[in-house]
C-alpha cells in the first residue's frame, strides 16, 4: 500500500484546507479553520512543521511567510486511514467493515442504489482485468 498516512484530527483539518486551496500560509490555514477550531497561529505553525517532517506537506518561502502545499493526496490519506481502521477494528476483513457500515448507519434508498452501482462497476472492471 505504500507509506502510511495516519493523521490526527488537527492534521486532517489542516490537510483539508491545503487540498481545497492547493497551498496556503499558516495565517490562511488558521483563518479557514476558525469556525471549527479556535487554534493559535503558533499551534498551526508547529503542526505544519511536524507534518513537513513526516513528509506530508512542503513549504516555499514568500517573503517572510511560509506557503505550505500538500505532498500526499486526499485519496492516499483515505486509503491509508481506512486500511488502518479496517486492520485495527475488523482484523483486515473488508466484508466485516462494509457489513458494519450497512447495519450500523442509516442508509437511504438513494445511497443503497449508489452502493449497488459501485459494486457493479467494480465487478465489471475486475472482469475486464480477467480476475
Alpha carbon distance, N-terminus to C-terminus of the chain: 20
Evaluate whether residue 1 is within a structural domain.
no
Question: In this predicted model, what pLDDT tens digit does every residue of 31-58 receive, in sequence order?
Answer: 999 887 778 899 999 999 999 999 999 9
| pTM of the entire predicted model | 0.81
Question: In this predicted model, what pLDDT tens digit does every residue of 18-35 receive, in sequence order?
Answer: 999 999 999 999 999 988
Evaluate whether residue 49 is within a structural domain.
yes
Evaluate whether residue 3 is within a structural domain.
no
**Per-residue confidence (pLDDT) for residue 53, from 0 to 100:** 96
Q: Are residues 31 and 83 in the same domain?
A: no
Evaluate whether residue 4 is within a structural domain.
no
C-alpha cell at 18: 491545503
Q: Produce one character per residue of 24-46: b if its CB has 16 or more CB atoms within 10 Å, e if not.
A: bbbebbbebbeeeeebeeeebbe
Amino acid at each position: 500500500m505504500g507509506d502510511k498516512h495516519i493523521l490526527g484530527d488537527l492534521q486532517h483539518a489542516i490537510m483539508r484546507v491545503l487540498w481545497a486551496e492547493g497551498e496556503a500560509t499558516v495565517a490562511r490555514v488558521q483563518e479557514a479553520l476558525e469556525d471549527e477550531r479556535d487554534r493559535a497561529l503558533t499551534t498551526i505553525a508547529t503542526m505544519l512543521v511536524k507534518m513537513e517532517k513526516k513528509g506530508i506537506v512542503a513549504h516555499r518561502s514568500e517573503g517572510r511567510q511560509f506557503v505550505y502545499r500538500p505532498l500526499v493526496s486526499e485519496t492516499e490519506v483515505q486509503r491509508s486511514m481506512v486500511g488502518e481502521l479496517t486492520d485495527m477494528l475488523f482484523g483486515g476483513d473488508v466484508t466485516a467493515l462494509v457489513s458494519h457500515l450497512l447495519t450500523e448507519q442509516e442508509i437511504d434508498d438513494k445511497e443503497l442504489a449508489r452502493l449497488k452501482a459501485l459494486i457493479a462497476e467494480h465487478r465489471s472492471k475486475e472482469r475486464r482485468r480477467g480476475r
